[in-house]
Amino acid sequence: MPFSTSVLSAAPASYATPLLAIAVPAGGLPASLAAVDAATGGALGRVYASGDFTGKKDEQVLVHPAGPIARVLLVGVGKAEEAGRTLIRRAAASAAKRARVLGVPTFAFHLPREAAGSVSAREAGQVIAEGLGYGAWHYPDLKQPPEEKKPALESAVILAPEATAEVEAGHLVGAAIAAGQAYTRLLQMLPGNTCTPGYLAQQAGELVRRHGFKGIVMDLAAIKAEKMGGLLGVAQGSAEEPKFIVLEYQGGSGAPIVLIGKGITFDTGGISIKPADKMEDMKFDMSGAASVLGTFEMLGRLKPKVNVVGLVPCAENMPSGTALKPGDVIRSHLGKTIEIVNTDAEGRLILCDALSYARKFKPACVIDAATLTGAVVVALGHFASGLMGTDDALVEEVRQAGERAGERGWPLPLWDEYRDLIKSDIADMKNSGGRPAGSISAGWFLREFVSGYPWVHVDIAGTAYSDREDAARVKGPTGNCMRLFAEFVLGRSA
């Protein structure tokens, strides 16, 4: 059963639950928790008084008072004046993660007003729902028998005795985003032999059935008919047929926002093969695709007044007797010729065809998400995605959407000088500019295929997955860019 959340106007002191999680600020026990403290026989006050717990970010303490509340979990959000959407979302995630590990089937979460900082009740409802879903998520394991013996965490109740309607309104949005995010992470996590281009195409079909979107999936023959030479080139070394997914959500009037996601279901590097170390992580090379599909799950649930098109080129990058070779020249969907100098620079080859295909929709703007370059990890590490684009105002709008989503991005320059990096002697461009400014030369490559609309590229190679567990999450897929997409499209909805 999928994890679900709801909002209740009940006061935390009188709500019977196996686990009451409370997000608390640094300093001391907030005054509004006096009744809960009394209901626990003063246990909460003693926690602060002991000095064992100070309310710092990520700090947790679990107490077992006598009475109707079996357990109270205090989760620190840090200084109240610094509390923002990100820290509140994170506190909810860390509470849900702990609840899951404890094995309770359900729990209650409460954010006292003293811990909310400047975050409104509505925003709190949204980010708490997102965070609860984030922390409750875990990957489906394939162990026999299953390692998880504890009962699954099925639900959480947000206790909001004040401004309940506002919290509820935010929760509606947050719950839809949480569902999209969980779906994105599931798709990311699936092994490459399950999550093939055909599988993603099937998933797109289910989204269409579930939510009544318009949608088509182009198969090999249709992709050939469209002359998508980049996508065909990458796919030609694999036994898996490429797919090109087109989804259309029509909820408003006006030109659509086009979202594009890189759907390389496994990236071996092709003939320019990658080293074996950590190659298994390249099942995550479809994370951009997963964030687009997750955004459509959100759109189907929330039905905002906005038009969105999703374009997802899908292929597997393999070495074989039929694979693309360094030195080959291919012709893209737009007609530009590309000299292949490194078959591991495959993401840009499938994205360029999607960028030129996007013109057909006369987009208001186009945003693509792609695990595109190792270089962006060198530049920004795991705390920000790389942003590049043709329009500074749009880059800033995307950055701010990411800020609201708790998925940071940071701009990298697409200055003219960098264009030289991808100059080819024999074709319109080559597909790799080598090591210097590797993320920017990839951005420049994409830019060559952008015409007639403002565009932003989000390089999520450093943010899409993590090999570290922390208070808020298990290691593995982060779903990064799904919430950014959601904030962006909701920010443009009427």
Active site residues: 274, 348
Residues 148 and 151: their CA atoms lie apart, in Å, by 8
Q: Which part of the chain contacts ligand BES (CB under 6 A), choosing from 20-28, 44-52, 208-216, 337-345? A: 337-345
- Minimum distance, C-beta of residue 384 to Zn ion, in the bound complex (Å): 19
Question: Binding residue for Zn ion (CB under 5 A) from 30, 229, 233, 347?
Answer: 347
Q: How many residues bind ligand BES (CB under 6 A)?
A: 15
- Minimum distance, C-beta of residue 268 to Mn ion, in the bound complex (Å): 8
Question: Binding residue for ligand BES (CB under 6 A) from 297, 346, 407, 448?
Answer: 346
256 binds, among ligand BES, Zn ion, Mn ion, none (CB under 5 to 8 A by kind): none
Q: If we measure between CA atoms, which residue out of 79, 74, 121 comes closest to residue 98? A: 74
Question: Binding residue for Mn ion (CB under 5 A) from 344, 368, 459, 487?
Answer: 344
The residue number with the shortest CB distance to ligand BES is 374
Q: Which two tokens stand for residue 123?
A: 């925003």
Residues 269 and 363: their CA atoms lie apart, in Å, by 32
Q: If we measure between CA atoms, which residue out of 222, 305, 339 comes closest to residue 490? A: 305
- Minimum distance, C-beta of residue 393 to ligand BES, in the bound complex (Å): 28
- State yes or no: residue 459 binds Zn ion (CB under 5 A): no
The residue number with the shortest CB distance to Mn ion is 344
Residues 457 and 177: their CA atoms lie apart, in Å, by 21
The residue whose two tokens read 């162990």 is 143
Q: Which residue blocks in 315-471 are alpha helix, DSSP H?
A: 347-357, 375-380, 392-405, 438-447
Show Cβ contacts of residue 275 under 8 Å, excluding neighbours closer than 6 positions.
Answer: none
- Minimum distance, C-beta of residue 357 to Zn ion, in the bound complex (Å): 20
Distances, alpha carbon 78 to alpha carbons 23, 48, 54, 60, in Å: 10, 14, 9, 11
Residues 364-423 that bind ligand BES (CB under 6 A): 371-375
Residues 262 and 160: their CA atoms lie apart, in Å, by 40
Q: What is the DSSP letter of 69?
A: B
309 binds, among ligand BES, Zn ion, Mn ion, none (CB under 5 to 8 A by kind): none
Q: Judge contact between 263 and 451, C-beta under 8 A.
A: no
Q: Judge contact between 174 and 468, C-beta under 8 A.
A: no
Nearer to Mn ion, 307 or 439 (CB): 439
Question: Binding residue for ligand BES (CB under 6 A) from 112, 347, 363, 389?
Answer: 347
438 binds, among ligand BES, Mn ion, Zn ion, none (CB under 5 to 8 A by kind): ligand BES
Question: Binding residue for ligand BES (CB under 6 A) from 131, 438, 454, 477?
Answer: 438
337 binds, among Mn ion, Zn ion, ligand BES, none (CB under 5 to 8 A by kind): none
Q: Judge contact between 244 and 314, C-beta under 8 A.
A: yes
- State yes or no: residue 267 binds Zn ion (CB under 5 A): yes
Distances, alpha carbon 224 to alpha carbons 229, 240, 332, 344, 418, in Å: 8, 15, 11, 22, 32
Q: If we measure between CA atoms, which residue out of 55, 123, 121 comes closest to residue 94? A: 55
Show Cβ contacts of residue 193 under 8 Å, excluding neighbours closer than 6 positions.
Answer: none
Strands 4-8 and 155-159: parallel
- State yes or no: residue 285 binds Zn ion (CB under 5 A): yes
398 binds, among ligand BES, Zn ion, Mn ion, none (CB under 5 to 8 A by kind): none
Nearer to Mn ion, 126 or 268 (CB): 268
- Minimum distance, C-beta of residue 431 to Zn ion, in the bound complex (Å): 12
Residues 163 and 140: their CA atoms lie apart, in Å, by 37
- Minimum distance, C-beta of residue 48 to ligand BES, in the bound complex (Å): 43
Q: Judge contact between 88 and 77, C-beta under 8 A.
A: yes
Q: Which part of the chain contacts Mn ion (CB under 5 A), choosing from 120-128, 226-234, 266-274, 377-385? A: 266-274
- State yes or no: residue 267 binds Mn ion (CB under 5 A): yes
Nearer to ligand BES, 141 or 467 (CB): 467
Please report, as a single letter, which amino acid is at residue 318. Answer: M
Q: Which two tokens stand for residue 172?
A: 């509606």
- Minimum distance, C-beta of residue 217 to Mn ion, in the bound complex (Å): 23
The residue whose two tokens read 């990411």 is 402
- State yes or no: residue 285 binds ligand BES (CB under 6 A): yes
Nearer to Mn ion, 287 or 390 (CB): 287
Nearer to Zn ion, 174 or 242 (CB): 242
- State yes or no: residue 344 binds ligand BES (CB under 6 A): yes
Local structure of 22: helix, strand or coil: strand
Question: Binding residue for ligand BES (CB under 6 A) from 33, 119, 330, 345?
Answer: 345
Residues at the site binding Mn ion, with contacts judged by CB under 5 A: 267, 344, 346
Residues at the site binding Zn ion, with contacts judged by CB under 5 A: 264, 267, 285, 347
Residues at the site binding ligand BES, with contacts judged by CB under 6 A: 267, 285, 342, 344-347, 371-375, 432, 438, 461
